Amino acid sequence: MAYECLLLEKKDKYAIVTLNRPPANAINSKLMEELDDAITVLGEDDEVRCIVLTGSGERFFSAGADIKEMGQGGGVIGDTSGDLLRAHQALTVRMDRCPKPIIAAINGMAFGGGCELAMSCHIRIAAENATLGQPEVNLGIIPGYGGTQRLPRLVGRAKGLEMLLLGTPVKAQEALQIGLVNRVVPDADLMTEAGKLAAKLAKQAPIAVKMIIDAVSRGIDTGIEQGLEIEAEGFVKAFTSQDALEGIMAFVEKREPKFQGK
């Protein structure tokens, strides 16, 4: 697949999607359209069991929305109906609910829409030089790709509001402390560590992985009873799969399981 704003590379059972609009990997409508396509295609690709999302270069995961495009009245700013914004929001929901785990490998700055894309991933690994934030308030606007919703859910209401209202970014170590990222690694090791994690996730039972993501993404904002019902549905689907039998037999036989996603 050839894209203008993305690079796509397939490894052994996982794929790397790289935001590629140097120098800052700024987000425009074309990038979001291509990312939507890539996530959809990879989500349906049986050869891919995990996705890594990162940015080209060393300084920027993504600096956020393309201010030049916005200043010229383009992109979501030019669509007063809000339909384009909602389409982009829908992409973040599809990422959140993608049946394949998505790892954000955050190299450098992840501001605005870049931070929102990272928060839409299931796991976030940050390089030591990474900085994350939602600075939209400094432009007189607010986040539009889920920042007001996902950030407080990840870091708590008080810290989320502080970051949103002040537009104050956090460095990698603080992001780790507040729960915005899962781990921090040396800059030079970012893609190696992301690849190791992706390879490990790719070995997990695909049906069980899919059911876990579904149960968490659909159940997290429901009452406990509804969440447990979602979990029960997923349990039955996973437990009656061939992968479950393989996992149990591998445990009994003291060998590594070979899951087929069936």
Domain shared by 177 and 236, yes or no: no
Count of structural domains, the chain: 2
**CATH number for 22:** 3.90.226.10
pLDDT at 79: 58
Confidence of residue 16 (pLDDT cuts 50, 70, 90): very high
Domain shared by 109 and 223, yes or no: no
Domain shared by 10 and 90, yes or no: yes
DSSP string, the chain: ---SSEEEEE-SSEEEEEE--TTTT-B-HHHHHHHHHHHHHHHT-TT--EEEEEESSSSEEE--B-HHHHHTT-HHHH-TTSHHHHHHHHHHHHHHT-SS-EEEEE-SEEETHHHHHHHTSSEEEEETT-EEE--GGGGT----SSHHHHHHHHH-HHHHHHHHHH---EEHHHHHHTTSSSEEE-GGGHHHHHHHHHHHHHTS-HHHHHHHHHHHHHHTTS-HHHHHHHHHHHHHHHHTSHHHHHHHHHHHTTS-------
Domain shared by 157 and 241, yes or no: no
Domain shared by 194 and 240, yes or no: no
Q: 1 lies in a domain? A: no
- pTM of the predicted model as reported, rounded to 2 decimal places: 0.92
Domain shared by 68 and 175, yes or no: yes
Domain that holds residue 220: 206-252
pLDDT at 84: 84
Q: 213 lies in a domain? A: yes
Q: 225 lies in a domain? A: yes
Of 162, 183, 202, the last residue of a domain is: 202
Catalytic residue list contains 136: yes
Question: Which one of 44, 47, 69, 116 is the catalytic residue?
Answer: 116
Domain shared by 55 and 151, yes or no: yes
Domain shared by 166 and 218, yes or no: no
Tens digits of per-residue pLDDT, 174-214?
999 999 999 999 999 999 999 999 999 999 999 999 999 99
**CATH number for 238:** 1.10.12
The arithmetic mean of pLDDT across residues 206-233, rounded, is: 94
Domain shared by 230 and 136, yes or no: no
Q: 260 lies in a domain? A: no
Q: 258 lies in a domain? A: no
Domain shared by 101 and 142, yes or no: yes
pLDDT at 66: 82
Tens digits of per-residue pLDDT, 157-174?
999 999 999 999 999 999
Query: Which range (32-36, 75-79, 87-91, 167-171) has the least confidence?
Result: 75-79
Domain shared by 16 and 107, yes or no: yes
Mean pLDDT computed over every residue of the chain: 93
Question: Which one of 136, 162, 229, 233 is the catalytic residue?
Answer: 136
Domain shared by 66 and 152, yes or no: yes
Q: 261 lies in a domain? A: no
Catalytic residue list contains 162: no
